[in-house]
């Protein structure tokens, strides 16, 4: 029997068991059924499936049944996304209210209004009673890639070259001393560390080497590279431009030697076989992402890494990498160490709160650095002076278990 031949009250009873998607499909069968769904279907569905929200209960009562169902379906999608049963919610864009209203005013409410199916109109209410109507621009496809820009400044008329990284770029390293100069790019991708040769004609668009993580027996992990550095000319590895030190998001600091023959298996004949690290180090007590790396220090044999939390700097001597140690920057800020630079016996670093210097030299005196004029609150933020009174107390610990 065709649905049109069923009595109206039977169709209404059937509507109690239909989802919003089914009701929408049913309403498209014919005009008479559309009228039944509009009059009874949406209101039945709204009563049976109202969202468990006290703040919405009174507001929804003033809405048309169809509008209530649309609101409820959005509510369900959000919660299913959190439960992992549907694609997650992604950031689409940020929008600014008018200059006249945005300064020092709190937004207390927002509501979308019917605008012919465009879903672009929003009313914004402010604490002072002002109301503003905003028409959101059409969303553009999200761009996942990154772009590297290369310029030869020795040219009379430098022309920028653009390299599509196919993923978000985080760090770069340029080696101009090598017989074949190259640039290294750290990204967020399946191959997060790649080397591109620099020829007289410009930057090669294809990588000459892919630097991977792990060993020959294990599959590389998806990660990102936030810090890249080269080895100093006087390092224990010798005067070589073929050493690349990198700080990875998955925890370790990895050292690659472009002269090494240790490579991972590659099923793609068009790409170079990934080069495996010759050395890997990490802080076993704070396995956090690395935001920055630097090489140098005593005998040019140290590697320093600024980690993602608690303002910790990890250090290793490449002559004995298993005996590494870490130190909290003065103040024990909860932030990452965004930058580290090793220079002679000193390490310069920066957190979200302050720059700092760690000096390991034997001849540090009170007049080595300018005195700091601090009030009591600033002094508390830096904890306390060390025993010498020259600097501030820092927490240090060894990596050995």
Summarised one tens digit per residue, pLDDT across range 269-278 is: 677 789 999 9
**Cβ neighbourhood burial of 90 (10 Å; 0-12, 13-18, 19+):** exposed
Contact between 119 and 112 (Cβ < 8 Å): yes
Per-range mean pLDDT, top range of 125-134, 293-302, 381-390: 293-302
pLDDT(85) > 70: no
Q: Which of 219, 265, 215, 275 is nearest to 244 (CA)?
A: 275
**Is the pLDDT higher at 370 or at 160?**
160
Q: Which of 287, 293, 340, 324 is nearest to 309 (CA)?
A: 287
Summarised one tens digit per residue, pLDDT across range 88-132 is: 556 666 666 664 544 556 788 888 888 887 778 888 888 888 888
Percentage of the residues of the chain whose pLDDT score is greater than 90: 28
- The CATH class that applies to domain 3-83 reads mainly alpha
**What's the mean pLDDT when you consider all of the chain?**
81
Residue 367: which pLDDT band, with cuts at 50, 70 and 90? Answer: confident
Q: What is the pLDDT of residue 33?
A: 84
Cα 240 to Cα 395: distance, rounded to the nearest angstrom: 35
Contact between 281 and 268 (Cβ < 8 Å): no
Q: What is the pTM of this model?
A: 0.63
pLDDT(1) > 50: yes
pLDDT(208) > 50: yes
Return the biggest CA–CA distance within the chain: 99
- Angle, CA of 79, 84 and 85, to the nearest 5°: 80
Same fold flag, 3-83 and 147-398 = no
Name all contacts of 133-136 with Cβ < 8 Å and 24+ positions apart: 134/95, 134/97, 136/93, 136/95
Cα 356 to Cα 331: distance, rounded to the nearest angstrom: 10
Q: What is the pLDDT of residue 197?
A: 94
Beta bridge partners of 247: 227, 253
CATH-assigned architecture of domain 147-398: 7 Propeller (2.130)
- Cβ-based neighbour number of residue 27 at 10 Å: 18
**Is the pLDDT higher at 37 or at 84?**
37
Cα 93 to Cα 115: distance, rounded to the nearest angstrom: 20
**Cβ neighbourhood burial of 302 (10 Å; 0-12, 13-18, 19+):** buried
Helices 65-83 and 20-27: angle between axes, nearest 10 degrees: 140
pLDDT(78) > 50: no
Q: What is the pLDDT of residue 331?
A: 79
Least confidently predicted of 41-45, 188-192, 322-326: 41-45
Q: What is the pLDDT of residue 333?
A: 81
Q: What is the pLDDT of residue 98?
A: 63
Q: What is the pLDDT of residue 304?
A: 96
Cα 188 to Cα 144: distance, rounded to the nearest angstrom: 10
Summarised one tens digit per residue, pLDDT across range 147-189 is: 898 988 888 888 889 998 888 899 999 998 888 899 999 998 8
> Quick one: DSSP state of residue 251?
S
> Residues 73, 75, 79, 82: is their CA dihedral positive or negative?
positive
Give the contacts of 265 (CB within 8 A, at least 6 positions apart). Answer: 216, 273
Q: What is the pLDDT of residue 305?
A: 97
Summarised one tens digit per residue, pLDDT across range 10-54 is: 888 888 888 888 888 888 888 888 888 888 888 887 777 665 555
Query: What is the residue extent of each domain of the chain?
Result: 3-83, 99-135, 147-398
Cα 47 to Cα 292: distance, rounded to the nearest angstrom: 56
pLDDT(359) > 50: yes
First to last CA, the chain: 77
Percentage of the residues of the chain whose pLDDT score is greater than 70: 76
């Amino acid at each position: 029997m065709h649905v049109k031949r069923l009595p109206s009250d039977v169709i209404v009873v059937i509507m109690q068991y239909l989802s919003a998607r089914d009701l929408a499909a049913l309403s498209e069968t014919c005009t008479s059924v559309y009228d039944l769904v509009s009059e009874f279907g949406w209101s039945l569905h709204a009563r049976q499936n109202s969202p468990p929200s006290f703040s919405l209960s009174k507001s929804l009562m003033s809405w048309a049944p169809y509008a209530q169902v649309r609101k409820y379906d959005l509510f369900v999608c959000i919660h299913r996304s959190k439960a992992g049963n549907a694609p997650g919610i992604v950031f689409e864009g940020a929008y600014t209210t008018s200059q006249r209203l945005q300064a020092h005013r709190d937004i207390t409410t927002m509501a979308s209004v019917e605008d012919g199916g465009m879903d672009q109109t929003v009313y914004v209410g402010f604490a002072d009673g002002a109301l503003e109507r905003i028409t959101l621009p059409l969303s553009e496809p999200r761009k996942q890639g990154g772009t590297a820009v290369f310029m030869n400044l020795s040219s009379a008329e430098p022309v920028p070259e653009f390299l599509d990284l196919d993923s978000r770029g985080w760090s770069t390293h340029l080696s101009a001393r090598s017989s074949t100069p190259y640039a290294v790019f750290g990204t967020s991708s399946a191959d997060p560390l790649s080397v591109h040769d620099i020829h007289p004609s410009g930057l090669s668009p294809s990588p000459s080497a892919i630097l991977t993580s792990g060993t020959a027996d294990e599959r590389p992990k998806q990660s990102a590279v936030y810090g890249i550095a080269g080895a100093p000319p006087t390092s224990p590895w010798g005067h070589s431009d073929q050493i690349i030190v990198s700080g990875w998001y998955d925890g370790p600091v990895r050292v690659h030697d472009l002269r090494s023959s240790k490579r991972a298996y590659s099923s793609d004949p068009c790409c170079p076989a990934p080069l495996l690290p010759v050395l890997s180090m990490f802080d076993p007590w704070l396995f956090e992402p690395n935001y920055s790396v630097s090489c140098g220090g005593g005998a040019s044999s140290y590697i320093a890494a600024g980690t993602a939390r608690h303002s910790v700097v990890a250090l290793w001597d490449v002559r004995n990498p298993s005996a590494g140690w870490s130190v909290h920057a003065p103040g024990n800020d909860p932030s990452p160490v965004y930058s580290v630079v090793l220079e002679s016996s000193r390490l310069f670093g920066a957190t979200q709160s302050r720059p700092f210097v760690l000096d390991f030299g034997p001849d540090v005196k009170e007049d080595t650095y300018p005195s700091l004029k601090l009030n009591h609150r600033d002094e508390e933020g830096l904890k306390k002076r060390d025993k010498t009174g020259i600097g501030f107390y820092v927490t240090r610990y060894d990596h050995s278990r």
